[in-house]
Amino acid sequence: MAILAPTSVSKDPLFLRTSSNSSSSDLQRISLNPPRIFGSKLKSGKIEQTQLRLLTASNNCSDLTAKASRKPLGLTEELKNNKLESVVETDDGSGLFEDMKRRFLSFKKHKYMENLEHYQNLAKGQAPKFMVISCADSRVCPSTILGFQPGEAFIVRNIANLVPSFVSGPSETNAALEFSVNTLEVENILVVGHSCCGGIRALMSMDDEVEKSFIQNWVVVGRDARLWTKAAASKLSFDQQCKHCEKESINRSLLNLLTYPWIEEKVKNGILSVHGGYYDFVDCTFEKWTLDYKEDNLKEKHGRISVKNHLFWS
């Protein structure tokens, strides 16, 4: 059994894995505001288009840099079969939907029709084993990362993969929890966090005195993780604190799950298991751990969290 102690910084990959050359500038180029992938400007009577592409070079988020390239309006590139193909895009974006149509028809031919009986059974009902709470970040797709097939996982995604407590009031996330646990009777709840999370960065940089935005009103759900991180990692750079909080917030969410009476009862009786997962898309690694439920040391919300089956996939 492993004991996770949020109030201390360890070298355990579950909490913080930094190299000696990490610096406070690691994430300075990551913005909370979503980048404009396509922007245009008028020059010499012509429209020029700027396309931003994310390039990675090493294991630091600071290596996610934007590189600009100019192409005629209405032309994008996609990688297919190791070759770059041009997709003609009209002003109304129909080129993108033509590509989407091609992907759908490919799915229908090679997945749906070849597994027709399975999909027909799914049309009658679902019985997933997993309920997954993941970040809405476009780079973090649980089905792609973990290979979930249709019918295997009931998935809800939100900013920073946070789980509000039972007393926080209704939200899409706890509505999904209620349905998946009480109606679908899933056997596992998996909370998946990830590297370079903008939602966690918003949480860590939040100023209590400024006017609240929709994002701030949501990420405040993770305030306990923020407090633990500030206490445990106060001597680290802001970027390293964000890395620490990305993992700490997962553990706080696991504890928040236990504030739902019908979840705690099932966990206590061994009917339901709750797990944490952390996907680092910079070096493509995944950590997984399972909450080791013990009524005596989990009643206190700010207590230490015990885990078991801690695995690291690389």
**Which residues are catalytically annotated?**
135, 137, 139, 194, 197
- Of 47, 103, 50, give the one whose Cα is nearest residue 76: 50
> Is 194 assigned to a binding site?
yes
DSSP state of 247: H
Q: How far is CA 206 from CA 147, 163, 209, in A?
A: 35, 19, 9
- Of 147, 143, 172, give the one whose Cα is nearest residue 158: 172
In single-letter form, the type of residue at position 213 comes to S
> Is 135 assigned to a binding site?
yes
Q: Contact 12/6 with Cβ under 8 angstroms? A: no
CA distance 280 to 224: 22
> Is 137 assigned to a binding site?
yes
> Is 283 assigned to a binding site?
no
Q: Contact 111/132 with Cβ under 8 angstroms? A: no
- Of 47, 52, 17, give the one whose Cα is nearest residue 33: 52
Strands (E), the chain: 2-4, 38-43, 46-55, 65-71, 75-80, 83-88, 130-135, 153-158, 188-194, 273-280, 285-291, 305-313
CA 256 to chain centre: 17
Residues annotated as binding site?
Answer: 135, 137, 194, 197
Binding residues for Zn(2+): 135, 137, 194, 197
